[in-house]
Structure 1
Amino acid sequence: MRIPLSWLAEFVEFAPGTTPEDVHAALVRVGLEEEDIHRVELSGPIVVGEVLDFVEEPQKNGKTIRWCQVRVAPEGETAADGGESVHGIVCGAGNFLVGDKVVVTLPGAVLPGPFPIAARKTYGHVSDGMIASSRELGLGDEHDGILRLVELGLGDAEVGSDAIALLGLDDSAVEINVTPDRGYAFSIRGVAREYAHATGAAFTDPAEAFSRPPAREGGYPVSIQDSAPIRGRAGASVFVARTVRGVDVSKPTPMWMSSRLRLAGIRSISLPVDITNYVMLELGQPIHGYDLGALRGGIVVRRAAPGEHLTTLDGQNRALDPEDLLITDDSGPIGLAGVMGGASTEIGSTTTDVLIEAARFDPVSIARTARRHKLPSEASKRFERGVDPNVASNAADRVAELLVELAGGRVDEETTAIDDAEQPSSISLPDGYVSRIVGFEAERDETIAALREIGCTVDDSEPDLSVVAPSWRPDITERADLAEEVARILGYDRIPAVLPVAPPGRGLTPAQVIRRRVADALAAWGATEVLAYPFVAAEQNALFGAPDGDTPESVRVANPLDATVPFLRTSLLPGLLAVASRNTSRGLTDLTVFEAGTVFRPARGRSYGQRVLPSAVGRPSAEELAKLQDGIPPQPRHVGVVSLGNRLPKRAGEPAVPAGLADVLAAVRVIALATGVRIDVAQGRHHAFHPGRTAVLSVGGALIGYAGELLPAVALDADLPRTVAALELDLDAVIAAAPTTIDASPIAVMPAATQDLSLVVEQRVAAAAVLAAVREGAGDLLEDIRLVDDYRGAGLEEGTKSLTFALRFRSNDHTLTAAEASEAKLAGAALAGSRFGATIRE
């Protein structure tokens, strides 16, 4: 919303020297967002001139110029630029006559651009200034000729007077962003009231400032026949109609009005239309004018019938929906109520009698119609936010008054007034409620004063206040809204900036601590945390969400943003692959990304989403919370990692190290260290991963996830290189196994004994299983065991392999002998032999 300051100053008192920046600052204090400041960037001397004479001079280039003699000051007086009262000026336009009053920019003036004006020689003459067009002055886009003041109704302007003030070019406008709940600020009336709240300046309500002629009932026939109200609310609750006859629509819009409309961002069209727009901006009440001679019978407000059409003012023929609210007469639809009028009753050059409409339409109905027809308008913008039902009559009278004053019309004494608007209901405001909500102590007296200042009616006869919101504030419906208004009027700066202290025992839960620790550890390890979209295609859930190849149960979104990905994810990997693909397409070919987030794993055969929301009054009961939880599919938290490209880039003397299976297994170790949980890694299979390069992850024997390199075909389908390493595990399962405390191991003081053990087993036996058996059999003396070699080749029987382990033994109370270490090693080998047939390789 743009607010010309001269217009605002008519209804609220400005302190001397108030600037647009001051107005913005004041409006911000009461919660309105500043956007911009609009002003015409020009400076004088720019004066009214009179064309005394001109000579047309054809040029060699085919153009004809006029060498003009223009009076720019009263005869015998010095011009504003210090020169003679008559200036010689070269002009290329040919649309003016001798005797015309024009706008002359004298040497020293600066026009928007900036475009400085100076005396200069052109076409064989010294042009001492310039005769300006509308576009050169910043008044509009008209540039076919110069601006003739007689066309603006300013033909009697005094020669030499300041044209900047005459044309309203010395005014400026502040622009604010109006939030959907504060539709009243889409008017000078509403903004003036807010400025008064912010500064304490005296406010005059423009709705009450206009003198209105007495009116009698019996005006133009109007009836409301809404047979299909939305949400039980009629489409129209107020409808006022007034008739003005004998209007001269050819009269120009006065400059003071057109300049204000221009600053407010609305183009001047014709005098009747400009008047309706002017009053809409002034009072916030949209107005529509009909050519009375084009109406056929009385007006009926109703819903559209099947198959009806309407040609709107923009020339479009629109198929109407049965939910559309229409203005109709005996000929059929003549307007989309609250959105746009129809072409058949448009005010034109032959109009003499005008019917004025000021109504209040249901916000939901108007919003749906405007969106259905993709037809936003200044009227619908206000109706869908709610207009003051008590201002319609004032607005209609104001339009009639201006038509009489500016277009020479006369107002019929009879008027039509339908008023079925609901009055605001009383809101109970308990004593002390505002202070509890806003966070500072609001005294009872200042609470009452603040509410009355915004227009509320307050009954303070009881401890609990009874408050009725003003008619222009349909957004105030409950006590929390009143508390917000009190805080806004008393000043947001009174709310203390105090960081709340969490009560003991109410900080992060153990699970939250571990989740943050895992994310921090992976980030410190070198991975980048991302947040991927949770929406996937059914094929992606089948590929990653069901390792056994079965089709997984998935939750389908009722209203997906993209029809190609309508399901909630059962795995994090599709989103991570999409993130990796997006980055590699932009040149980032070496990356490791991870996400810790929820996946959706519905139980087979269950349907979700059918639930009843609890009441908003008070905290939901345990039973209500249980029902809500039952209507939501299980959402375990997983952690996923994707690594591709080079783990280490190529350097001088060092080759690049590509990312692969070892990297995601390193990420598994990082997660294990961060949680204090031993995650067992063994060779396994998954239909999305490369055979032989896939590890299954388990905790306490329970499967929790997979790690490995994706099948090249899967990687290529995602527009990624052939080698992509990936990991996904159930973080909730890891957290459930995490110890509540971690005992730190004492620093060993006794020397360690190290030995190697090579065992020959069948190739089908997993090395991790052999390692676990050796660890278990070796007993407490074994401090560490690592697989250091996996040999398959000459010297071994067909189908076997040799696994070499490095073992470290230590005792806490004495120095181990070689015999003790060997005994423990052989015990481990014996258990591996009994379980897997392992033999010691000689």
Structure 2
Amino acid sequence: MRIAKQWLLDWLDTRLPFEDLGAALTRGGFEVEGAGTTGPALPGVVVGRIAAITAHPHAERLRICTVDCGEDGVRTVVCGAANARLGLKAPLALPGAVLGKRVITEAELRGVRSHGMLCSGAELGLAATEGLWELPEDAPPGMALADYFRFADPYLDVAVTPNRGDCLSVKGVARELAALTGGRFRAPRPRALKVSGVTPHVSVEDKSRCPRYCARLISGMAPDKGSPGWLVERLRVCGASARHPAVDVTNYILFDLGQPLHAFDAALVRGAVVVRGAHPGEEITLLDGATRRLNADDLIIADDEGPLAVAGVMGGRRAAVGPATRSVLLEAAYFRPDTLSRTARRLGLATESALRFERGVDPELCELALERATALILKIAGGVASPAAEHSVPELWPRPEPIRLRLERIRRLLGVGVPRAHVTRLLKGLGMTVTASHGDLLVTAPRFRFDIRAEVDLIEEVARLLGYDEIPAVALSQAPLSARPRALGLRRAADLLVDRDYHEAMTFSLVDPEEQTRLGIPAQALLRNPLAAPWSALRASLIPGLLAAALHNRRRQQGRVRLFEVGTCFRAADSGTAVDEELRLAGVALGPAWPEQWGAPGRLVDFFDVKGDVEVLCALAGATLAVEAGDIPPFLQKGLAATLRVGGETIGFLGGLSPAHRERLGFEEPVFVFEIHAAPLGQPLGGRAQEPPRFPSVRRDLAVVVRADLPAGAVLETVRVNAGPLLQGLVLFDVYQGEGLDLGKKSLALGLTLQDFSRTLTDEVVDGLVAQVLAALKAAHGAELRQ
């Protein structure tokens, strides 16, 4: 937002140089994006008035203008602009003036000598007008155009952060500068207006969304006078153009005070005006020319024939002010930000008015803005103002609550103590009410400071006003902080996966509930007010996001894809409306098992590759992973999936995506995924250094015959349970079915490593342990030792 110096000084009494004000804003937390002057110098360009105009004797489209240049007399200028007419005031470039790369000279045009050039706004690099730039009536002939418009006036381009809606105006910035620099803020003093006539009839049906609405009728205007130069120039600096005195004034008040206003052509309003919710399916053609369909969530201004405007966003064409408008209905209101924000976003409209209402407008501004706008319109275009109609429900206005501010808390957060009197003076400079309360301060923010909600907000204000540069650097004395075991464990797990050629991904926490349902994942945490339908649920699993990311990479010629993510998943809590969060680690792998090379034939990644990755993850945390058949998610392929358990508890799953889901999603090769709870990975190892064993281990291999449909994991678990503490290693190293075995049987070859750390194992002990294991296998699974 551009803030011109002279405009700012209407509100701020200060002796500081203008550039110092920019530095003060920067210290106060505002970003000054640029600075400059409001317009070009334009030497040799003056205000000219067409005193006489005649047809060109040798060209139909040209006319000969006698231009009044004030004290410099008159000049003859040949002009081809269609809007050239008697009495028009327009910029006149005298011989020698430079417009861009063009030097104006005296020239003979079709037999008539022209002593200069009447200019359009585009030729001056200013307003993009068609034909001559029509200057206001108060522009004195002969005056330098740059002096009339104060083009040499410096400005600051200030970026206002979203939380500071109170500074989206010259008044707001001036009020902030007064507090930052010690200058004096010139509070406005509205003058009493002379009013007459009948109060306009307006009503508010939806008071909850519009707690304050004011309106006034101004009739008998003379719009042909146009807006004065100072107003036109201030609007131009802010990026707006002059249209009609009433519209120009409403735009000016918006930039000056920060209160959006709207003017309706009163002659086009039918019956009473009402503020109400839109009827579903109701339509309105807005000022941008587009027709938009409304719903019950939209708040509108309407008359007996239908919508006149979308409240706080944009007016409609039906009652729009035009060049011939002589009476207007002037509106000032406070609309609830959340309602207006949803409407503006749904309709795809980003207007200056909507921007301010979304960030918060002080309801108390309505009366001041309406009075100032009325006074300006009457001064510029004449007319008569009616009494103002007002509907107000103060109980529904934003009400700032007192906040307790502790001086000790200021010292702890800023690292420096600030005297009570100094804190009080600083906060009162921002318009806050400060009282003493039990050794602390009780502070109430002004209504326009919507960003002040808690004690830390007040401390931030103290820091801003003190100046961050003035807060001394203090060395903190504290013990070195170490990483939390959980965070350290997860970081080590992530590093391990990166070492195994995985890439870390970060997917969106909001997902499409329908896609979760298609994968068989219940969408338990649905949003009440989602940004869009595809993002209306919190994810219950990391797998959908990783599958989408893997497919995105695969379609972009990434042949070997390995992705993992550590993220939060959500599910509805047993208590009802609450949501439980759980940290998980998940991965997806597809494509070649290893990078392309010459030393070994290539193959695709398989179940056991990914199983190995998960086993190493668990081993890193000191946990022993058991891979078992069990309940698996419906999107995994049966016979190629398993449940993962640690210490008897299920921690996740592992498997290949089913062919049906592979085809639906668009994968052409096998895809393997895993998802585990992150808690076991975050456990500290807590291990101690151990002396290498002094006594040898014993290896015994067993081949047992079991049912062909018996999972090997069940056999291994039985061995672990019955072998006792002497079992130091267990491996399945062969599976056989075929000749020599009965139909429906298979042979599992197991390798048992036995060791006692206090003595050498004897054959008697080992044989007894093996016999114990075989007996347990026979009892549990009907296993027989293969002969």
TM-score by length of 1: 0.74
Given candidates 177, 184, 188, the residue that maps to 2:170 is 188
Structure 1 distance, partners of 2:315, 2:516, is 51
- Which residue of 2 is the match for residue 574 of structure 1? 544
1:311–1:343 CA contact under 8 A, matched in 2? yes
Say if 2:583 is the partner of 1:583: no
Say if 2:426 is the partner of 1:445: no
Say if 2:685 is the partner of 1:717: no
- Which residue of 2 is the match for residue 31 of structure 1? 29
Structure 2 distance, partners of 1:684, 1:472, is 61
Say if 2:185 is the partner of 1:203: yes
- Which residue of 2 is the match for residue 48 of structure 1? 46
CA shift in 2, pair 1:567/1:284, >3 Å: closer
- Which residue of 2 is the match for residue 157 of structure 1? 142
Give the 3-state SS of the residue equivalent to 1:658 in structure 2: coil
- Which residue of 1 is the match for residue 564 of structure 2? 594
Say if 2:505 is the partner of 1:530: yes
Given candidates 255, 259, 262, the residue that maps to 1:285 is 259
Amino acid across the alignment from 1:136: E
Structure 2 distance, partners of 1:680, 1:331, is 73
2:39–2:152 CA contact under 8 A, matched in 1? no
Structure 2 distance, partners of 1:370, 1:155, is 43
How far residue 257 of structure 1 moved from its aligned partner, in angstroms, is 1.8
- Which residue of 2 is the match for residue 666 of structure 1? 612
- Which residue of 2 is the match for residue 268 of structure 1? 242
Give the 3-state SS of the residue equivalent to 1:257 in structure 2: helix
Measured on the aligned residues, the alpha-carbon RMSD in Å equals: 5.4
Amino acid across the alignment from 1:590: R
Correspondence list, 1:188-337, <5 A: 188-205=170-187, 207-208=188-189, 212=191, 214-215=192-193, 220-222=198-200, 225-226=203-204, 228-230=206-208, 234-236=211-213, 239=214, 241=216, 243=218, 245=220, 247-289=221-263, 303=276
CA shift in 2, pair 1:728/1:682, >3 Å: same
Amino acid across the alignment from 1:655: P
- Which residue of 2 is the match for residue 613 of structure 1? none
Structure 1 distance, partners of 2:14, 2:157, is 17
Give the 3-state SS of the residue equivalent to 1:488 in structure 2: helix
CA shift in 2, pair 1:778/1:265, >3 Å: same
Correspondence list, 1:538-553, <5 A: 540-541=516-517, 543=519
Give the 3-state SS of the residue equivalent to 2:668 in structure 1: coil
Alignment deviations for residues 530-570 of structure 1 (CA, whole Å, 9 cap, x no partner):
3444535467457555xxxxxx7945554555546766555
Say if 2:465 is the partner of 1:489: yes
Amino acid across the alignment from 2:731: R
Correspondence list, 1:296-445, <5 A: 303=276, 347-352=321-326, 358=332, 377-383=351-357, 385-388=359-362, 391-392=365-366, 394-407=368-381, 409=382, 415-416=387-388, 422=394, 427=402, 429=404, 432=407, 435=410, 439=414, 440-445=416-421
Give the 3-state SS of the residue equivalent to 1:608 in structure 2: coil
Q: After the TM superposition, which of the residue ranges 707-716 and 809-818 deviates more from structure 2?
A: 809-818
Say if 2:134 is the partner of 1:134: no
Structure 1 distance, partners of 2:90, 2:457, is 56
Say if 2:683 is the partner of 1:741: no
CA shift in 2, pair 1:679/1:204, >3 Å: same
CA shift in 2, pair 1:690/1:290, >3 Å: closer
How far residue 726 of structure 1 moved from its aligned partner, in angstroms, is 2.0
Given candidates 120, 137, 145, the residue that maps to 2:131 is 145
- Which residue of 1 is the match for residue 576 of structure 2? 608
- Which residue of 1 is the match for residue 9 of structure 2? 9
Q: After the TM superposition, which of the residue ranges 436-445 and 714-723 deviates more from structure 2?
A: 436-445
How far residue 269 of structure 1 moved from its aligned partner, in angstroms, is 0.7
Give the 3-state SS of the residue equivalent to 1:195 in structure 2: helix
CA shift in 2, pair 1:525/1:229, >3 Å: same
How far residue 241 of structure 1 moved from its aligned partner, in angstroms, is 3.9
Structure 2 distance, partners of 1:369, 1:4, is 33
1:649–1:657 CA contact under 8 A, matched in 2? no
Alignment deviations for residues 142-177 of structure 1 (CA, whole Å, 9 cap, x no partner):
2x434465x66536124xx4x434444444544444
Given candidates 734, 738, 741, the residue that maps to 1:789 is 734
1:197–1:453 CA contact under 8 A, matched in 2? yes
How far residue 380 of structure 1 moved from its aligned partner, in angstroms, is 4.7
How far residue 643 of structure 1 moved from its aligned partner, in angstroms, is 0.8
Correspondence list, 1:91-102, <5 A: 96=84, 102=91
Amino acid across the alignment from 1:230: S
Say if 2:93 is the partner of 1:104: yes
Structure 2 distance, partners of 1:263, 1:443, is 42
Structure 2 distance, partners of 1:426, 1:558, is 28
CA shift in 2, pair 1:38/1:601, >3 Å: same
1:42–1:109 CA contact under 8 A, matched in 2? no
1:541–1:570 CA contact under 8 A, matched in 2? no
Structure 2 distance, partners of 1:558, 1:325, is 20
Correspondence list, 1:702-713, <5 A: 702-713=649-660
How far residue 801 of structure 1 moved from its aligned partner, in angstroms, is 4.4
How far residue 497 of structure 1 moved from its aligned partner, in angstroms, is 7.3
Amino acid across the alignment from 1:656: G
Correspondence list, 1:609-688, <5 A: 609=577, 631-632=578-579, 635-682=581-628, 686=632, 688=635
How far residue 346 of structure 1 moved from its aligned partner, in angstroms, is 5.1
CA shift in 2, pair 1:282/1:525, >3 Å: same
Give the 3-state SS of the residue equivalent to 2:223 in structure 1: coil
CA shift in 2, pair 1:170/1:499, >3 Å: same
Structure 1 distance, partners of 2:490, 2:691, is 27
Amino acid across the alignment from 1:454: L
How far residue 405 of structure 1 moved from its aligned partner, in angstroms, is 4.3
1:189–1:282 CA contact under 8 A, matched in 2? yes
Structure 1's unaligned 5+ residue stretches are: 77-84, 546-551, 610-630
1:428–1:464 CA contact under 8 A, matched in 2? no
Structure 2 distance, partners of 1:714, 1:310, is 46
Structure 2 distance, partners of 1:393, 1:601, is 49
Structure 1 distance, partners of 2:675, 2:681, is 15
Amino acid across the alignment from 1:583: N
How far residue 718 of structure 1 moved from its aligned partner, in angstroms, is 2.1
CA shift in 2, pair 1:828/1:568, >3 Å: same
CA shift in 2, pair 1:357/1:754, >3 Å: closer
Give the 3-state SS of the residue equivalent to 2:498 in structure 1: helix
How far residue 699 of structure 1 moved from its aligned partner, in angstroms, is 3.0
Give the 3-state SS of the residue equivalent to 2:185 in structure 1: coil
Structure 2 distance, partners of 1:240, 1:827, is 95
CA shift in 2, pair 1:775/1:467, >3 Å: closer
Amino acid across the alignment from 1:254: P
CA shift in 2, pair 1:781/1:336, >3 Å: closer
Alignment deviations for residues 286-327 of structure 1 (CA, whole Å, 9 cap, x no partner):
444465667788x76654797998876667788887887777
TM-score by length of 2: 0.78
Amino acid across the alignment from 2:626: D
How far residue 250 of structure 1 moved from its aligned partner, in angstroms, is 0.7
Structure 2 distance, partners of 1:95, 1:775, is 99
Structure 2 distance, partners of 1:16, 1:406, is 33
Structure 2 distance, partners of 1:436, 1:774, is 64
Give the 3-state SS of the residue equivalent to 1:694 in structure 2: strand
1:544–1:573 CA contact under 8 A, matched in 2? no
